[in-house]
Structures are given as C-alpha cells and as structure tokens.
Structure 1
C-alpha cells in the first residue's frame, strides 16, 4: 500500500477527496505519513498503547456507542484510559454542537469527568457560519481565500435537517431558510430526514419543515448543481450505526452525490477527514506542533483514519463498525452484541489492508472493537 499523501486544507473543496473515494495528493508542511502496510498492528485492545499515548481522540458512533447504547467494553476502556492519566477528547462528525455531548454520554455509563473536551463537526459549522464576515476564520496559507468564501456566502439557504432525530437549530446565525434552490445562496446539510421550512427563525422553520425522502433531496441537489451553489456539510459521515436499525444514511451521502454533480467543486466538509476539525482539537489539546503525541480511534477508514493520516496523528481502526461486512466480520449492530469485547473475532489482516488501500488511508493499529 502506498503512503497516503492526502491534503485537505481546512474547509476547502480539496476535502472532497474523501467522499469521492479519490485521493487528493500534494504536500502539506510537516504532516506525518501514516504507517506503511508492514507496520499495521492487529491488537486485541488498547491497553499497550496507553503506556505511550497520553492524548486520545475518540470517535463516538461505532466506537463508544451504537447511537443508543454504550458498548460495555468501551465504557471500561475509557475509564481505564482516564485512570492511567490519559487525556480523552471526543472528536465527532456529529451535526450537533459540542454543548451537552458529554451529558448525553453520561446516561450510557461514561463519566463526563473522564473527558477533557469535545469537538463536533456541528460545532465547527456553527462557529464558521456565526463568524462569517466578522474577520479571519482560519489561519495559514488558505486563510485569505477561505475568509473570502465565508464572507461572501450570503444568508439564504436550503437546509437539510433531521426530524425524528431532532431538528438542528439555526437561530443566531443570521440565516434565512428557503425551500427553492433558485432562491438560495447556498445549501446546508445537517441531516437527511427533512428540509426545513422557509423562515428567519426556528419557529417558522419548524412550522414548514417537511419530511423528505433521500431521492427527493437528490432532486433538490440536482437543481442546485445547475447553479453551482456551495454545499456546506455539517456531518461528512456517509452512514452511521443506528442501534438495531442498522446503518443509517448521513449528510455525507448528500455530499457524495453533490460532488459528482458539480465535479467536486462545490462541497465544503466541516468534519473528518477535513483538517479543520483536527486543527481545532489539536489546538484544544495543545499539540498543534506535535500531533504525533496523540492517537485517534475511529471505525471509518475514509473519515477517522484518513483524517488522522492528514493531521499527522496515529490511528486505531475499529473494525467491527461500519466496515465489518467489508472485512468479512459479522457487523456489531448493537452494544448488546459486544459485551466486554472478548467474543468479537478479529478480521483477517490482509482484508484490513485491502480495505485501507481502497479507501486510500493507512491505519497504524486495528482492533475488533474498542476495548481495553
């Protein structure tokens, strides 16, 4: 497997390499390369890594819980990592803001005091929208063009959101939602269940919110693509685990479709694998200049692992999540199937390497599920 040289400057269209499954190659300063194929280690749990890695960047869905219930082995692993002195950070492609993320983990068995911080793609999206036109939103060589994009974004958007999973509020962002892409300045994707009603406040939006099948959303995207409207994706995940419901479509599905419609030129990913979310969490940890001291844990090769590769962070790939079927494993659909993790058989190492090559990334370690 070749070393991944994926470049996704924060919040730029180059980040579309992930959703199109096409690598974007270039150079990016001192970004560390992922481990070679020969270096991939299949490990039963994270106990040994806790001896050397003091900062852990943990994905939520498919790692800590199944969307409804915590994996018991994950609760134990998080507790033991905390007790070992490690600092734990949740880095999640969640459409929702970081606030209350830890409180939602508490009923699942995770003690919020075990975690040092949270960064969600929904939080990054909110901050970028809130600060548009109010000065610099980014640093580095892409800063000027990025600031220009946000400043010129406009206020009218078609908003893809959730209904049964809970609508995403937009109040305080100076936005007006519309239902016709002919009237919009851009598209905003938080969910895949509904399209918000027209309005300038959340009450108006909720009153007109309409549950919308994915195929109908695709038709809206086609109309927007004719105008090459930007699509801001608050959650780049294509699918997620959904408890007994199995895999559920996420906004990354819309991003993938729209990338094909616009030749990859009109999509902005606000979470993994884009550097923007890793830059935020590394700044929070104080490891901006030494990302190699951290380690990321996730179950998505094209989001968690590829993003960690770009950021120069080592990664632990959790095989029993969304890639389980691809790896010849029985997918761990719910937490009840995991127990303490000891009964989950590991996948074949060669299958992991083949899957990683297909998704253009290189995990350093692979575990069946996230356990100690």
Structure 2
C-alpha cells in the first residue's frame, strides 16, 4: 500500500478508472474541484473514466444531477448506476409486478422501464398490504434512524416479501450532514429475517454494467482498470471482490478515523489501524482525489 499525493503519480499505469461519485467527485452539494481537474486531465491524456455510483437514479438522472453540482461532461466517458442495474432486475420480475415503494418521490424515475428491455414487466406501485415485493430507493427521512421502519418491515417479512435495494450505501455525507441510505434499510430488513436483493457496489451486477459501459468506448482488460472510492463496505469491498486495483480515498467517509484533514493526507498510524479494522487492502491511498 502506497500513500500518494495526486492521481497523476499512478494513473499512467491504467487505461481506465471506475470512480465513485459521492465523497470522491462531489460532496452531495457541489463538485470537488481537485477531483474534476484530475479526471479531466486523465481523459485528456487518453484515459477512460466510468463513474460507478450507488445512486438509485438512472444514468441520465445522475448526469443531470452532477452537472448541477458542477461536474462537467468532459470529466467522464460513461456512468453506471446501481439504479440502472436494479431497474433491469425489477422489470424482469425480481420482486413481482405489484410493489411498495420505500423512498422519496424524487426517485420515481426509477420506475421508468429501461430502454434496453424489449418486453419489460408492467410494474404497479401499491400500498404495502397489497404488494408482492418492496422496492427501496432510500429512507423517507434520511435523518431518521432506520429502526423507524421496523413495523412495516415486520409486516413485509411476515408475508415473505423480497426487498429490492436500489442503493447499497449505508450512509453518505451531504456537505457536513451525514444521511442514511437505502443500504441501511436493506441491512435492517435482512437482520429481521427478510430477504434483501442488492445490485450496486460491492455486488457483481453493477461491475458487469460498468464493464459494458466501458466496452462501448474502449477495450480495456481488468488489469488496466483502477477503482477509486471512499466506502469501505461498497467501493473497497467491491474492487477487492472484482480483483481490481484500488485507490482508496481516506478523506471521505473515513476522514475522522484516518486523521485526514480537508485537502490533506491521512495520518499513517491512524490509517493503518483503520485499514486493519475494516479489512481494506488498497493498492494506493490518497486524502482526496486530486
């Protein structure tokens, strides 16, 4: 494991990057300038960038969202979202045709059939007591503890409903505020004895999608792909599971634990403890993507 100061120190060894968004390229409110500069410079040098995100939104929705944050189109080649991967499963019948949506209204785009399916199942959103399955795109209130959903989850589990999780992230930081994500709800449902289905990082479906999106613009072997992310249970675990080299961003979700100050590098001693506790084995570590 090597602590580096800039992506350019190692990027010449790789033909493509699989880059997490939240905590690496933006903070949920605005783009991280150094990250945008690093990615655009990498692409100018001939590299390819696929943004691999656990957002429940379709890639078009993510592109629009990050443009509003200040991430320009010339910072990336393609986007692979957990939402796209999960939508394919939904419209192939993974949790039935009548589903209860657990999530905010701004995620309703999730229920638009994917264009690549020629015969998508008709999906109808219904109340929980009429549902054949649950689609979770996130909590109704991201500040509320996931345990508030226990009554609904008990009813769903008792009826044997599967829960499709559109975003395996447990938490994210929106600016300075930490919020719960769909993954925390799916984790609770599983702990209660229910069955949760995952399609984003660290699970294989989103990496299969990312490889297909990359193949549309370049033929790149796995050995020439560098995964970049800040989530130990999602980005890091996914990269390790896919046998991809990993650049771990210590200044994201693990900033406090690794002693990474804004714009700085991790404290080596604290980083060593953090990596041991989380089981992360990165190829490189950097404070922030730059």
TM normalised by structure 2 equals 0.88
Matched, 1:112 2:73: yes
Matched, 1:83 2:14: no
The aligned runs of 1:160-171 (5 Å cut-off) are 160-163=102-105, 166-169=106-109, 170-171=111-112
Alpha-carbon offset, residue 289 of structure 1? 8.4
Q: Which ranges in structure 2 are unaligned for 5 or more consecutive residues? A: 114-120
The aligned runs of 1:264-283 (5 Å cut-off) are 266-283=195-212
Report the secondary structure of 2:274's partner residue. helix
Q: Is the 8 A contact 1:155 1:174 kept in 2?
A: yes
Matched, 1:318 2:249: yes
Q: Is the 8 A contact 1:97 1:122 kept in 2?
A: yes
Per-residue CA distance 1:49-82 (angstroms, 9 max, x = gap) = 1211110111111000111111111121112111
TM normalised by structure 1 equals 0.69
In the alignment, which residue of structure 1 is the partner of 2:155?
223
Separation in 2, partners of 1:212, 1:171: 28
Alpha-carbon offset, residue 156 of structure 1? 1.9
Separation in 2, partners of 1:158, 1:320: 36
Q: Which ranges in structure 1 are unaligned for 5 or more consecutive residues? A: 1-39, 133-149, 195-210, 331-337
Q: Is the 8 A contact 1:105 1:112 kept in 2?
A: no
Separation in 2, partners of 1:353, 1:185: 46
Separation in 1, partners of 2:144, 2:238: 31
Q: Is the 8 A contact 1:168 1:190 kept in 2?
A: no
The aligned runs of 1:278-317 (5 Å cut-off) are 278-286=207-215, 290-317=221-248
Alpha-carbon offset, residue 292 of structure 1? 1.7
Distance verdict in 2 for CA 1:312–1:289, change over 3 Å = farther
In the alignment, which residue of structure 2 is the partner of 1:253?
184
Separation in 2, partners of 1:154, 1:113: 39
Alpha-carbon offset, residue 293 of structure 1? 1.1
In the alignment, which residue of structure 2 is the partner of 1:197?
none
In the alignment, which residue of structure 2 is the partner of 1:159?
101
Report the secondary structure of 1:131's partner residue. coil
Report the secondary structure of 2:138's partner residue. coil
Matched, 1:366 2:282: no
Alpha-carbon offset, residue 159 of structure 1? 1.0
Report the secondary structure of 2:248's partner residue. strand
**How many residue pairs end up in the alignment?**
279
Report the secondary structure of 1:326's partner residue. helix
Report the secondary structure of 1:370's partner residue. coil
Distance verdict in 2 for CA 1:106–1:350, change over 3 Å = same
Distance verdict in 2 for CA 1:253–1:213, change over 3 Å = closer
Separation in 2, partners of 1:124, 1:50: 28
Separation in 2, partners of 1:87, 1:267: 33
In the alignment, which residue of structure 2 is the partner of 1:351?
270
Q: Give RMSD over aligned pairs.
A: 2.3
Separation in 2, partners of 1:219, 1:356: 36
Separation in 1, partners of 2:66, 2:144: 29
Separation in 2, partners of 1:102, 1:233: 21
Alpha-carbon offset, residue 171 of structure 1? 4.5
Q: Is the 8 A contact 2:260 2:287 kept in 1?
A: no
Which structure has greater helix proportion? 2
Separation in 1, partners of 2:62, 2:268: 34
Separation in 1, partners of 2:56, 2:185: 14
